[in-house]
């Protein structure tokens, strides 16, 4: 029997599908990174990135590296050596930032919440009151491993009330350009993201915004390459301290222009509607959402009892789709489809049917003809 042809689809929460215009920009001849042509592109990308961060006019650093490099840069630039850090963790990436702070020599306390569950405010208040010398709090806005969107604004308000001198450092790797994010208004001190998620560019760039009080922190230099003070001085002149990923910056500038042309709040609504459609399709197929408050960036779906999530991931791959599964203890039961990249409502319909087909390949009793209808209803409700 001849194998059926399937178009490759990337439906994971990063890397994501990239717009053709971005790929075209990246395929152009590479300019020298000190040439005026690149300075113009780099300056444009920085201006546009600040607007997508909802901090127009501020410095947002563009680093060659992953989002993890950006978070390390924020820590070593704004948190004094051996300072105490409270790591809020409700998934893999919250744990990672706590591990990183400990590796960098900080005294780390942790407050954990079950996967997909909001942090208990009373427990957080008690933890803050028990740490009189607290230097910083790390937290994840959109926890990619669980599909949860945490209330960064409320948490930052609580930190400011209980420990006004502590910095609030936020991982916005999958929330940037997918969920409402207002660093200034919410009293945040560091916001970190990356290129391979909501800004629809291939992996390789990290973004870091710091508040003025974070910039003013008297911290001894803890890194050579990730020294944001040095980068800030260079980037103000349209340069970078070290050789940048020139082609990625060219693509980033185009992608940011596309997002701003659509309008940031429209982008937030569209991403929310697409994710709601995936969650509705999953529910129609007997799956349940893991997150109490779902992120627009990823639909974390728990497969029906007796079904192997890795088997569904393999079935999707056989149909041409790279579908993210769960991580660590969630691997046996969790699927994480995402339309975080270059996607519209018709992609949501296609992915809904793909989920139905892949699940049916593994579990023949799966309801048929229900996922697309559920996705369409969810899209209509959000229109």
Q: How many structural domains does the chain have? A: 2
Task: Verify that 24 and 74 share a domain, yes or no.
Answer: yes
Task: Verify that 166 and 62 share a domain, yes or no.
Answer: yes
Q: What CATH number has the domain bearing residue 229?
A: 3.40.640.10
Q: What is the pLDDT of residues 158-178, one digit of tens each?
A: 999 999 999 999 999 999 999
> Is residue 10 assigned to a domain?
no
> What pLDDT score was predicted for residue 91?
95
Residue 377 structural domain: 264-382
> Is residue 9 assigned to a domain?
no
Task: Verify that 224 and 275 share a domain, yes or no.
Answer: no
Q: What is the pLDDT of residues 38-85, one digit of tens each?
A: 999 999 999 999 999 999 999 999 999 999 999 999 999 999 888 899
Mean pLDDT of 278-288: 98
Task: Verify that 323 and 196 share a domain, yes or no.
Answer: no
> Is residue 4 assigned to a domain?
no
Long-range contacts of 187-193 (CB under 8 A, 24+ apart): 187/156, 187/157, 187/160, 188/152, 188/156, 189/78, 189/136, 189/213, 189/214, 190/74, 190/78, 190/214, 191/53, 192/67, 192/70, 192/71, 192/73, 192/74, 193/53, 193/67, 193/70
> What pLDDT score was predicted for residue 314?
98
Q: Which of 261, 283, 314 is at the close of a domain? A: 261
Task: Verify that 240 and 274 share a domain, yes or no.
Answer: no
Task: Verify that 326 and 247 share a domain, yes or no.
Answer: no
Q: What is the pLDDT of residues 310-367, one digit of tens each?
A: 999 999 999 999 999 999 999 999 999 999 999 999 999 999 999 999 999 999 999 9
Q: Which of 227, 261, 295 is at the close of a domain? A: 261
Average pLDDT across the chain, whole number: 96
Report the alpha-carbon angle 256-226-152, nearest 5.
60
Task: Verify that 241 and 287 share a domain, yes or no.
Answer: no
Task: Verify that 76 and 195 share a domain, yes or no.
Answer: yes
Q: pLDDT category, 2, cuts 50, 70, 90?
A: low
- Note the pTM of the prediction, 2 decimals: 0.96
> What pLDDT score was predicted for residue 65?
97
In the block, tokens 């400990």 appear at 102
Length of the chain: 383
> Is residue 284 assigned to a domain?
yes
> Is residue 2 assigned to a domain?
no
Q: Which of 226, 261, 296 is at the close of a domain? A: 261
> What pLDDT score was predicted for residue 254?
98
Task: Verify that 68 and 203 share a domain, yes or no.
Answer: yes
> What pLDDT score was predicted for residue 1?
34
Q: What is the pLDDT of residues 86-127, one digit of tens each?
A: 999 999 999 999 999 999 999 999 999 999 999 999 999 999
């Amino acid at each position: 029997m001849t194998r059926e042809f399937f178009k490759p689809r990337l439906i994971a929460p990063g890397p994501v599908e990239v717009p053709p215009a971005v790929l075209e920009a990246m395929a152009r001849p590479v300019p020298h990174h000190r040439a005026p042509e690149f300075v113009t592109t780099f300056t444009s990308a920085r201006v546009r990135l600040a607007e997508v961060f909802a901090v127009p006019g501020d410095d947002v650093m563009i680093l060659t590296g992953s989002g993890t490099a950006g978070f390390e840069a924020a820590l070593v630039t704004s948190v004094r050596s051996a300072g105490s850090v409270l790591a809020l963790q409700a998934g893999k990436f919250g744990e990672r930032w706590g591990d990183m702070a400990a590796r960098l020599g900080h005294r780390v306390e942790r407050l954990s919440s079950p996967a997909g569950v909001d942090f208990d405010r009373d427990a957080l208040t008690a933890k803050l009151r028990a740490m009189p010398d607290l230097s910083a709090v790390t937290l994840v806005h959109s926890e990619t491993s669980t599909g949860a969107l945490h209330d960064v604004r409320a948490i930052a308000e609580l930190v400011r009330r209980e420990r006004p001198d502590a910095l609030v450092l936020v991982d916005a790797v999958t929330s940037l350009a997918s969920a409402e994010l207002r660093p200034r208004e919410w009293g945040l001190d560091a916001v970190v993201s990356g290129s391979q998620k909501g800004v629809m560019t291939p992996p390789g760039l990290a973004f870091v915004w710091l508040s003025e009080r974070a910039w003013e922190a008297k911290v001894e230099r803890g890194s050579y390459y990730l020294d944001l003070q040095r980068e800030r001085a260079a980037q103000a002149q349209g340069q970078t301290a070290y050789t940048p990923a020139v082609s990625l910056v060219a693509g980033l500038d185009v992608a940011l222009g596309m997002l701003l042309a659509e309008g940031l709040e429209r982008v937030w609504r569209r991403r929310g509607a697409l994710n709601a459609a995936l969650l509705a399709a999953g529910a129609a197929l007997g799956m349940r959402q893991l997150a109490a408050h779902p992120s627009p960036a990823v639909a974390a779906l728990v497969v029906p009892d007796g079904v192997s999530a890795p088997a569904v991931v393999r079935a999707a791959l056989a149909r041409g789709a790279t579908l993210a599964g769960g991580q660590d203890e969630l691997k046996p039961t969790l699927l994480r489809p995402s339309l975080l990249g270059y996607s519209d409502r018709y992609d949501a319909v296609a992915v809904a049917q793909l989920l139905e087909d892949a699940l049916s390949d593994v579990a023949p009793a799966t309801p048929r003809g229900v996922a697309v209808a559920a996705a369409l209803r969810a899209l209509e409700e959000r229109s």
